[in-house]
Structure 1
Amino acid sequence: MDLTGAQVLAHRAAAQGLHGDDPDAVLPLGVVDSPPKTGAAALGVRGRREDTVDARDLVRVLSLRGTPHLHRRDDLPALRRQLRPRTPRQLAAWCGAHPTPDLAHLDLVVDVLHREFPGDTATKGELSAAISPLLPEAVTPHCPTCDAHHVIENVFRLATLLAGVELEHLGAKLVFRRPTGKPDVEDPGEPALLRDYARLVGPFAKADAEKWLGAGPQDTWPDLRPVRVDGKPLLAHEDVPPAPDPPAGLLLFPRDPYLLGPRRLVADPDVAKRVWRPVGSPGALVVHGRVVGAWRHEFRGRTVTFQLTGWSKVKGAARRAIKDQAEVLAGVWGGDVLGPDVVEW
């Protein structure tokens, strides 16, 4: 199958609900929620207008790559099964520069988290301090920065998910809630996360999918077949059906699910360098499906101001759509008291 990048992006926008007809379509992938309310913003631009923070069907957890995400509560058992490392190589992906402990040590961390959770809620520091003295040095090496022994950072983050520990939705610090129920230790089953990635992102490279998953080399993949996009080889799980053009204008955070997959499909290299940075990435200004610039926002009293690169070059339907997006994001962050003011940056 031969496709153009424009066809892939049109399919992706439609599959992920960016036309506003299915705001929850993207939730099988989860949405990054760091800093807090960026997940609500991702769902808001897709048309979810209820108070996402208080939505009973959503939960905030440390999941993919150990990062705070919003997921549907009903999806958590499958998420835990598929992110649980099954091989030393997969566990090594969570250990950084530290030696990889035995898989049994991860199960021990999960068990101790579940049994020794202090109080109804606990900060990350309080929870780590409560469990680290009860664990072997294989998972609590000396940390030069803290000058203390504590659980390997991303192993701790993964273990909270596996133990059924959820996060409070708001606040600058990570605050964990006491887990309920028993940890899930079933086999992973079908690679549903990767299948959803293929379905919602479209043609992809395995390296892109594994980077998103952050769970080490994958032994099981959904059925894939080769395709060519703009003449370059990628993989697809199913046909890419025709779809309407992407929305004329979007304000997305840099880790929005729309921006997954091969970066060259959504941005030219010079634009990508300005948007995706090692630290402090701005938002992505998307016009007719592609990232054309960056944006940031700031609060001045009770007003949120959006600062965009190249705003003077955004015309017609795209300009109107960006203003609508600013209204939506202002509502997500503060309700009717905030008035968006889109300015040149």
Structure 2
Amino acid sequence: MLELDREQVLAYRIARHGLSRDQDDPAKLAVFDLGVQDATARAAAELALAARLPTDRPVSLVDDARFTLLWSHRGAPHYHRTEDVAALIPALLPVDDADTLARLSWQRKEVADAGMPATQVLLTAARAMREAVPAAMTKGSASTAVTRLVPAALTRWCRPCQATHIHEQLMRLAAPLAGLRLVAGATPATLEPLADRPRIPVATDIARVTRVVVDYLRLHGPALPTEAAGFLGSTRATVTERLWPSDLVEVRVDGKKRYIPADRVAELANPPTPDFVRLLPPWDPFLQARDRELLVPDKAHRKELWKVLGNPGALLAHGEVAGTWRTKSAGKRLEVTFTELLRLGTAARAAAKEEAARVAAVRGYADLRVAWS
């Protein structure tokens, strides 16, 4: 059995995530096998590409037809390869009512009040959204339109909006099933039908959902069912009993068993040394691994990186998450403030400043100021 330590696992993941900048075509980056999470106001997806592509020029996904923005995994906005969308949408339909309940983050009482099984709740919302959004509509307008069509039990009073509307997570999970995408770069968030709008899936394609688990294990492995379930928003039982791939190899990481697809074992056994510095934005694919204790062993450091609100970016240096970074704009200048979690040398600090210049370019700032707290 292959015995590994965490440094070797991190080196494998860093290489698999394309952070060595050996690929100049974003569509070929393995991170798009799962999708790249976006936050439009902070250019999260573009900053994730800046950490991976060799070019110094900002790369925009907004007008690139090769990519489509959807509410996908866990209802979060992700860019996916457009050519993958047709296969992805059936994979977003939960495998059973327990899976749906977990992905909705509902309690059993809410399903009981709805008067229908959890999966039927989701499909009812998807059918209503397909009817309610025949053309581009802002999220608010779409929510108003679909709320008129769904049973009252699928709505709730929203204090911030001072209105009754469809449950937020239900709307997000139903939208891709209804064949709706997010308009990239649009503010406020805007939904529109996909160009080749597929039918609403009526049955789960277990093979396609399992493929999502495989892609998770290839990017974030070696891992366990619990961690794959966390990425999906599902439960360990669902992944273990319904979605766990058969072609896996058991390995040990610091003495603990983990699993990796068989086609990744050779690379895992001998990954390249990550002797570089990168700035990863909040929600970067590398930070989406659910075994945060392996990524960042120190509990206090994890609290600095993953907060309830307002996560900083991560400073990756020589194979470790060695610090955090935040930005603040001041007129035409972007200020980037670094905080060390691990001690950095002069060369690493200089490299971090060079990476900060990439961040400024993506954000559209010509002037940069760097500080260390």
Displacement of 1:178 in angstroms is 3.4
TM-score (norm 1): 0.91
1:183 and 2:199 are equivalent in the alignment: yes
1:302 and 2:332 are equivalent in the alignment: yes
Contact 1:63 1:161 survives alignment (8 Å): yes
Please give the secondary structure, in 2, of the residue aligned with 1:86: coil
Q: What is the match of residue 5 of structure 1?
A: 6
Q: What is the match of residue 83 of structure 2?
A: 74
| Residues 95-135 of structure 1: per-residue CA shift (max 9 Å, x gap) | 324523422332222122122216x3222221011011211
Q: What is the match of residue 294 of structure 2?
A: 265
What amino acid is aligned across from residue 178 of structure 2 in structure 1?
A
| Residues 135-184 of structure 1: per-residue CA shift (max 9 Å, x gap) | 11342345566565422221110111111211122245321123442334
Within 5 Å, which residues of 2 pair with 1:235-274?
235-238=259-262, 239=265, 240-259=268-287, 260-267=289-296, 268-274=298-304
Distance in 2 separating the partners of 1:67 and 1:221? 23
Q: What is the match of residue 230 of structure 1?
A: 254
Q: Which moved more, 1:34-43 or 1:314-323?
A: 314-323
Q: What is the match of residue 49 of structure 2?
A: 43
1:95/1:300 CA distance change after superposition, 3 Å: same
Please give the secondary structure, in 2, of the residue aligned with 1:309: strand
Distance in 2 separating the partners of 1:341 and 1:25? 33
Q: Which moved more, 1:136-145 or 1:5-14?
A: 136-145
Distance in 1 separating the partners of 2:275 and 2:175? 37
Q: What is the match of residue 181 of structure 2?
A: 166
What is the number of residues matched between the two proteins?
A: 342
What amino acid is aligned across from residue 39 of structure 1 in structure 2?
A
Contact 1:293 1:308 survives alignment (8 Å): yes
Residue identity over aligned pairs, in percent, reads: 33
Distance in 1 separating the partners of 2:301 and 2:318? 15
Q: Which moved more, 1:127-136 or 1:317-326?
A: 317-326
Please give the secondary structure, in 1, of the residue aligned with 2:273: coil
Please give the secondary structure, in 2, of the residue aligned with 1:52: coil
Q: What is the match of residue 88 of structure 1?
A: 97
Distance in 1 separating the partners of 2:189 and 2:234? 22
Contact 1:311 1:343 survives alignment (8 Å): no
Contact 2:230 2:290 survives alignment (8 Å): no
Q: Which moved more, 1:201-210 or 1:318-327?
A: 318-327
Please give the secondary structure, in 2, of the residue aligned with 1:340: strand
Displacement of 1:92 in angstroms is 0.4
1:220 and 2:207 are equivalent in the alignment: no
1:25 and 2:30 are equivalent in the alignment: yes
What amino acid is aligned across from residue 322 of structure 1 in structure 2?
A
Contact 1:285 1:295 survives alignment (8 Å): yes
1:254/1:230 CA distance change after superposition, 3 Å: farther
Contact 2:93 2:204 survives alignment (8 Å): no
Distance in 1 separating the partners of 2:144 and 2:82? 28
Distance in 2 separating the partners of 1:128 and 1:192? 31
Within 5 Å, which residues of 2 pair with 1:325-340?
325-334=355-364, 337-340=365-368
Distance in 1 separating the partners of 2:254 and 2:139? 46
Which is richer in helix? 2
Distance in 2 separating the partners of 1:226 and 1:243? 18
Distance in 2 separating the partners of 1:303 and 1:52? 24
Contact 2:301 2:341 survives alignment (8 Å): no
Please give the secondary structure, in 1, of the residue aligned with 2:198: coil
Distance in 1 separating the partners of 2:332 and 2:176? 36
Which of these residues, 314, 324, 338, is aligned with residue 354 of structure 2?
Answer: 324
Please give the secondary structure, in 1, of the residue aligned with 2:30: coil
Displacement of 1:307 in angstroms is 0.3
Contact 2:9 2:222 survives alignment (8 Å): yes
Distance in 2 separating the partners of 1:110 and 1:146? 22
Contact 1:60 1:68 survives alignment (8 Å): yes
Please give the secondary structure, in 1, of the residue aligned with 2:166: coil
Q: Which moved more, 1:130-139 or 1:306-315?
A: 306-315
1:107 and 2:123 are equivalent in the alignment: yes
1:57 and 2:66 are equivalent in the alignment: yes
What amino acid is aligned across from residue 211 of structure 1 in structure 2?
G
Contact 1:168 1:174 survives alignment (8 Å): yes
Distance in 2 separating the partners of 1:31 and 1:208? 18
What amino acid is aligned across from residue 46 of structure 2 in structure 1?
A
What amino acid is aligned across from residue 253 of structure 1 in structure 2?
P
Please give the secondary structure, in 1, of the residue aligned with 2:337: strand
Contact 1:163 1:179 survives alignment (8 Å): no
TM-score (norm 2): 0.84
